[in-house]
Amino acid sequence: MRNFEHLQSACYEANMQLPALGLVVYTFGNVSVVDRELELFAIKPSGVPYESLRAEDIVVVDFDNNVVSGQMRPSSDTKTHAFLYKHWTHIGGICHTHSTYAVSWAQAQRDIPNFGTTHADHLTPDIPCAPPMSDELIQGDYEYNTGQQILDCFEEKGLSYREVEMVLLGNHGPFTWGKDAAKAVYNSKVLEEIARMAYLTLQINPQAARLKPALIQKHYERKHGKDAYYGQ
């Protein structure tokens, strides 16, 4: 019997960061970790409170959503994770939460404007909000179609998932991803903070202007450009 302890351990540690970072209450969230060579990923079991979650509870599934290892049902969002892993081959981890400020922007069905350098340090465009899912897709394979909803949003807005590692789903909430699960969780926390800052900005000044393009580019390039000089 194959041992998936490396996947389960990485997935467990990433999931436990969500309550530690204040990104979830009760069971409102999940993180998955992929192994591209095995074409398998590990994900939190459905409805299990974080305080009772154990590494051995983590469920391992294939890209067709078949359980390969684990005694529990995987997260109800598993088909969304599988869809994104299939279509976006450079991501290694995915995170979904119902964090307060990110969800609030999603429920308002609004992109989060790039108001400042904190936002620009991580991505240059506004954080996209996908339109609410159509009735036809809701009545179909809902979780699979959530993945399609994300893909369609990026195609329609001309965005790269390798630069923009986060999205809001209209009336639902945020998904983030990254090179590994730790980066996906990091992006989830960054998204929540940017969403909070943008909300407060509009409370102070409802006519607040977006950051000017030169400053957006400067802050993004100093961290991510070919001549990046931020950090050690």
Query: What confidence tens digit (pLDDT) does each residue in 97-107 have?
Result: 999 999 999 99
Q: Closest Cα partner for 193 from 131, 130, 128, 122?
A: 122
C-alpha to C-alpha distance for 150 and 176, rounded to whole angstroms: 11
47: pLDDT strictly greater than 60: yes
C-alpha to C-alpha distance for 30 and 28, rounded to whole angstroms: 7
231: pLDDT strictly greater than 90: no
C-alpha to C-alpha distance for 209 and 219, rounded to whole angstroms: 17
37: pLDDT strictly greater than 50: yes
Q: What is the mean pLDDT of residues 199-226?
A: 94
Q: What is the mean pLDDT of residues 42-51?
A: 96
Q: What is the mean pLDDT of residues 216-220?
A: 92
pLDDT given at position 25: 92
Instruction: Categorize the per-residue pLDDT at 224 as very low, low, confident or very high, splitting at 50, 70 and 90.
Output: confident
Domain boundaries, the chain: 5-222
217: pLDDT strictly greater than 50: yes
β 129-130/166-169 pair status? parallel
18: pLDDT strictly greater than 60: yes
Per-residue pLDDT of 127-172, as tens digits, reads 999 999 999 999 999 999 999 999 999 999 999 999 999 999 999 9
Q: What is the mean pLDDT of residues 7-19?
A: 98
Q: What is the mean pLDDT of residues 209-231?
A: 90
pLDDT given at position 55: 96
pLDDT given at position 232: 79
Q: Is 41 exposed, middle or buried (0-12, 13-18, 19+ CB in 10 A)?
A: buried
pLDDT given at position 230: 84
The more confident residue out of 119 and 223 is 119
pTM for the whole structure: 0.95
pLDDT given at position 1: 47
Q: What is the DSSP string of 42-89?
A: EEPBTT--GGG--GGG-EEEETT--EEE-SSPBPTTHHHHHHHHHH-T
Q: Looking at the annotation, which residues are catalytic?
A: 121, 230
Please give the share of the chain, as a percent, with pLDDT higher than 90: 94
Per-residue pLDDT of 178-193, as tens digits, reads 999 999 999 999 999 9
Average pLDDT, the chain: 96
The tokens of 136 are what?
A: 């036809």
Q: Give, in words, the CATH class of 5-222.
A: alpha beta
Instruction: Categorize the per-residue pLDDT at 114 as very low, low, confident or very high, splitting at 50, 70 and 90.
Output: very high
